[in-house]
Chain A
């Protein structure tokens, strides 16, 4: 199943995420994804996430497709100009990869090679518009594409914990207007805050998938609180992880409760398991998803 089918089904959507390695062996990444076989509508393949140089998202997606998993191509604007971004969109479509998540991308200096040139020729909205243009048969310069235009299902992201929230929501509206057909959010740990966020977003007509990062330890939770913008892990969860004898079991328990709390306010969840895809399956089992 891909994103289009999942959206059209109207059912609760589950997606997950894997990261290509800093190296040329993708076996581990594929194994990670394969845990979720038959359970998810899409597997995001990150694009040099956190500005760390790695194998490409497109190659990861091609490999996922080869093993029969539904890839979501993540594309950021940090490393390529509009020519290269559009070219990659066409290349992806040529490989049958049409679910694309469009992001601006982290800044270069936050990664492992701060000396690299930050491109940002476009931002997420510009990239969505470019992809939409290709779907209509034209590139950004207005030149006509040869043959049938590609058909993408485009996604975007939003940070429900952003402060101030107003400009964040304004940009989300712009992304949907530009052609985003689904939304995946930054990690959230607070259903009440998420409900408030969704109320302010209003009816945007596309499914919003709440972002879930499974806690691996109390230390990881504290690290996120200190270092990830707009993400707040409540103290109660940190304490539970700290006291946990079996960290995995407690993390699964917390995640199940969290997703249950979020379900009334979202149309799906996007799991960002950071290597814990086998536990995502357990979470989904417990939720009956």
Chain B
């Protein structure tokens, strides 16, 4: 899922600028899990905006705001409220904001910062485990990705900066290479496995932005 953080209220207000009336779009998927764009947060934002003297013309929470067709359908369904608003405030990831912008002829304001593609460890704990490099190598590292989990993305081994198995850059994080070594050991692989590992440098051509995935969907 996509991890998001709510922008500070003052910043949202600043971005709304002179918009007097606002339509709010949340997200029923990732932003609900991150508690940045679910029902509760949309309601709280509505109260806040009204408190500072703005008019909230309406709100909607698509199942997943990044689903452009579904979001467009919901915006059409609420077209009077959308039309009445000076701006649309989107409490979702950057893809959600852009899905709304694509389908609404209105100024769109982002209420969240999108931070990473995450796993959810438990409620309220999200961790970055994948950076969408486009050439998955995680199986070579016993299911622990050094590209995503080492700040320097080192595929050949650790740098010299870890201390007691902790990362120098993020002292609260384990050095990913210490984790990889430990997992390898548990699975019966020694240093010779890594001595023989010959990774290719990352192919950044695969990360040429914007990326797109287009295929003929299987029917039925």
Interface residues of A (CB under 8 A from B): 77-78, 82, 104-107, 109-110, 118, 120-126, 140, 157-159, 162-164, 166-171, 173-174, 186, 229-230
Contact = CB atoms under 8 A, between A and B. Distances in A.
B98 interface: no
Contact of A171 (B157, B165, B202, B204): B157
Interface in B7-41: none
Interface stretch (B48-56, B71-79, B148-156): B148-156
28 contacts: A78-B152, A104-B154, A107-B168, A118-B152, A120-B153, A121-B204, A122-B201, A123-B152, A123-B154, A123-B156, A124-B156, A124-B159, A125-B156, A159-B160, A162-B158, A162-B162, A167-B157, A167-B178, A167-B181, A167-B191, A170-B191, A170-B195, A173-B195, A174-B156, A174-B157, A186-B160, A229-B160, A229-B168
A121 B165 contact: no
Contact of B161 (A106, A124, A140, A166): A106
B195 A229 contact: no
A230 B204 contact: no
A167 B177 CA distance: 7
Nearest to B192: A170
Q: Name B's interface SS.
A: loop
B168 A121 contact: no
B69 interface: no
B169 interface: yes
B186 interface: no
A107 B169 contact: yes
A110 B168 contact: yes
A140 B201 contact: yes
Given A123-B153, A163-B163, 4 more contacts: A107-B169, A110-B169, A120-B154, A171-B157
A202 to B, nearest CB: 11
Nearest to B151: A107
B169 A109 contact: yes
Q: Give the contact-size bracket for chain B.
A: 20 to 34
Of listed A110, A126, A170, residue having the most chain B CB within 10 A: A170
B181 A166 contact: yes
B116 interface: no
A158 B178 CA distance: 16
Contacts of B195: 170, 173-174
Contacts of B165: 163-164
A273 B160 CA distance: 20
Contacts of A124: 156, 159
B164 A163 contact: yes
Contact of B158 (A77, A82, A168): A168
Q: Which are the 4 A-B pairs with shortest beta-carbon distances?
A: A171-B157, A159-B160, A125-B156, A229-B163
Nearest to B201: A126
A157 B204 contact: no
Contacts of B154: 104, 120, 123
B178 A164 contact: yes
Contacts of B142: none
A126 B165 CA distance: 23
A104 B155 CA distance: 12
B200 to A, nearest CB: 9
B152 A126 contact: no
Contacts of A121: 201-202, 204
Contacts of B164: 163
Given A157-B160, A170-B191, A104 B152 contact: yes
A102 to B, nearest CB: 12
B126 interface: no
A120 B151 CA distance: 9
Given A104-B152, A121-B204, A123-B155, A167 B194 contact: yes
A121 B153 CA distance: 9
B51 to A, nearest CB: 34
Nearest to B159: A104
Contacts of B159: 104, 123-124
A122 B159 CA distance: 12
Contacts of A107: 151-152, 161, 168-169
Interface string B156-189: 1111111111001100000001101100000000
Nearest to B161: A229
A31 B165 CA distance: 40
B202 to A, nearest CB: 7
Contacts of A230: 160, 163
Nearest to B154: A123
Nearest to A104: B159
